């Protein structure tokens, strides 16, 4: 069984494991106050071209989302998100558990736009009973989205502009950020993201690390006391240097970009194979997740040798499924899959 069901099926990139081994016996202070973390912060600030950004390392995505959102909002405020957003549906109520509603916007492809945010904002403030409703307090997006789609630079600029006009911090969940930056048609850089968002994170778990997300806070108003929040939400790893070592390795010599490109290239090969065979794609993803619409008997056939995720039912005969590649995906596995797609007897 070859797994395309997720982008967290393997351990970590070899270089990371090697560094963990090399540094294993060193004694360092805990909780992210070591020199590895400090160096990793430097690399990330440099990549973002923002010397005064605050960089924190957290263990996982739920933690990052919860810590960031609850750190920013006052009790009567909510987080604006696409209805498809991870925080809206797949965090077991983690955001609500910190006291905040997720205010959802409709989305077909996982993205939201500046106009939607402005309309929701205006609708709130123009409602005579707005004090009886949850006030929008920040905007959450993910890039790539849950559906593999990405924001263009102009889209993000518009969204950022509206958010700043409305006083809504813009938070980008970058659990798969590398795969977005490596997308074929991407025109966004880390520098753009740092400039346009108020806070975002650079995913490690799905991009070569054993685990870990690097939170970057660019808006000075959001920096204060963030380490208390990390500790309170359970994200302050005792052996913080594990995170520092991993992100240092990822951002040294371009490893993060390189492995992201690897995954996206393989994903595009899979995409093309499905398209060539005549299948449609549910979302126009140029990143590491591909969502073909497949007849149920094709699912059964491919399911014999490959694992992938069931996404949603289309009708009685067809379904959307998800194939993921990652930094760890082997080219020969993709080639074998493509061969099997080509040979499908339709």
Ranges within 232-251 binding a copy of itself (CB under 8 A) = 232-239, 242
Query: How far, in Å, CA of 342 to CA of 86, rounded?
Result: 33
Report in angstroms how near the CB of residue 279 gets to a copy of itself at its nearest.
23
Q: Where in 100-119 is the site for a copy of itself (CB under 8 A)?
A: 100-102
Q: Which CB, 150 or 329, lies closer to a copy of itself?
A: 329
Closest to a copy of itself by CB, 229 vs 266, is: 229
Strands (E) located in 47-184: 54-58, 77-82, 102-105, 135-142, 170-173
DSSP for 140-177 reads: EEESS-TTS----HHHHHHHHHHHHHHT--EEEE-TTH
Exposure b/e, 171-180, CB count within 10 A at least 16 = b: bbbbbbbbbb
User: Interface with a copy of itself by CB under 8 A: which range of 10-18, 48-56, 276-284, 338-346?
Assistant: 10-18
Is 206 a binder of a copy of itself (CB under 8 A)? Answer: yes
Can residue 316 be called a binding residue for a copy of itself (CB under 8 A)?
no
Which pairing describes strands 54-58 and 102-105: parallel, antiparallel, or unpaired?
A: unpaired
In contact, 190 and 216? CB cutoff 8 Å: no
- Min. distance of Cβ 154 from a copy of itself in angstroms? 31
Size of the residue set binding a copy of itself (CB under 8 A): 75
143 neighbors 178 (Cβ within 8 angstroms): no
Shortest separation between residue 101's beta carbon and a copy of itself, angstroms:
4
Q: Does 82 bind a copy of itself (CB under 8 A)?
A: no
Residue 223 in contact with a copy of itself, rule: CB under 8 A: no
Chain center to CA of 253: 22
**Which of 81, 145, 149, 205 contacts a copy of itself by CB under 8 A?**
205
CA distances from 113 to 139, 152, 156, 345 (A): 11, 11, 8, 41
Instruction: Please report whether residue 312 would count as binding a copy of itself according to CB under 8 A.
Output: no
Q: Is 228 in the site for a copy of itself (CB under 8 A)?
A: yes
User: If binding is defined by CB under 8 A, does position 177 make contact with a copy of itself?
Assistant: no
Interaction between residue 286 and a copy of itself (CB under 8 A): no
- 253-272 residues near a copy of itself, rule: CB under 8 A: none
Which pair of structure tokens corresponds to residue 236? 């302050």
Task: Round to whole Å and give the CA distance between 324 and 315.
Answer: 23
Q: Is 3 in the site for a copy of itself (CB under 8 A)?
A: yes
Residue 98 or 336: which CB sits closer to a copy of itself?
98
Least distance CB 232 / a copy of itself (angstroms): 4
* Contact pick of 38, 50, 98, 336 for a copy of itself (by CB under 8 A): 98
What is the rounded CA–CA span in Å between residue 271 and residue 279?
Answer: 9
23 binds a copy of itself (CB under 8 A): yes
Residues 117-156 interacting with a copy of itself (rule: CB under 8 A):
128-129, 131-135
Q: First-to-last CA distance in the chain? A: 22
Give the separation between CA 35 and CA 26, rounded to whole angstroms: 11
Q: Which of 36, 55, 78, 327 binds a copy of itself (CB under 8 A)?
A: 78
* Run of H or E including 306: strand 306-307
167 binds a copy of itself (CB under 8 A): no
């Amino acid at each position: 069984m070859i797994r395309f069901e997720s982008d967290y099926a393997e351990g970590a990139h070899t270089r990371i494991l090697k560094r963990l081994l090399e540094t294993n016996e060193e004694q360092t202070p805990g909780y992210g106050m070591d020199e590895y973390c400090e160096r990793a912060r430097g690399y990330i600030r440099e990549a973002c071209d923002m010397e005064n950004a605050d960089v924190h390392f957290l263990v996982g995505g739920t933690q990052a989302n919860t810590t960031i959102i609850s750190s920013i909002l006052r009790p009567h405020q909510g987080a604006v998100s696409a209805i498809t957003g991870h925080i809206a549906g797949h965090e077991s109520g983690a955001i609500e558990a910190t006291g905040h509603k997720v205010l959802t916007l409709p989305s077909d492809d996982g993205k939201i736009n500046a106009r939607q945010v402005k309309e929701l904002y205006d609708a709130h403030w123009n409602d005579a009973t707005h004090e009886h409703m949850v006030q929008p307090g920040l905007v959450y997006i993910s890039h790539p989205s849950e559906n593999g789609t990405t924001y263009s630079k102009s889209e993000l600029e518009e969204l950022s502009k509206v958010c700043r006009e409305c006083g809504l911090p813009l938070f980008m969940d970058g659990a798969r950020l590398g795969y977005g930056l490596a997308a074929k048609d991407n025109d966004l850089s880390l520098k753009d993201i740092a400039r346009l968002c108020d806070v975002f994170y650079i995913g490690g778990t799905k991009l070569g690390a054993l685990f870990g997300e690097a939170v970057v806070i660019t808006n000075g108003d959001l920096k204060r006391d963030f380490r208390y929040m990390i500790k309170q939400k359970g994200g302050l790893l005792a052996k913080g240097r594990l995170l520092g070592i991993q992100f240092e390795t990822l951002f040294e010599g371009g490893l993060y970009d390189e492995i992201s490109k690897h995954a996206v290239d393989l994903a595009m090969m899979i995409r093309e194979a499905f398209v060539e065979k005549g299948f449609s794609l549910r979302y126009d993803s140029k990143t590491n997740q591909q969502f073909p619409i497949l007849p149920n008997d094709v699912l059964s056939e491919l399911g014999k040798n490959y694992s992938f995720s069931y996404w949603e039912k289309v009708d009685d005969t067809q379904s959307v499924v998800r194939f993921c590649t990652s930094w760890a995906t082997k080219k020969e596995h993709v080639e074998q899959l493509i061969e099997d797609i080509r040979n499908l007897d339709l």
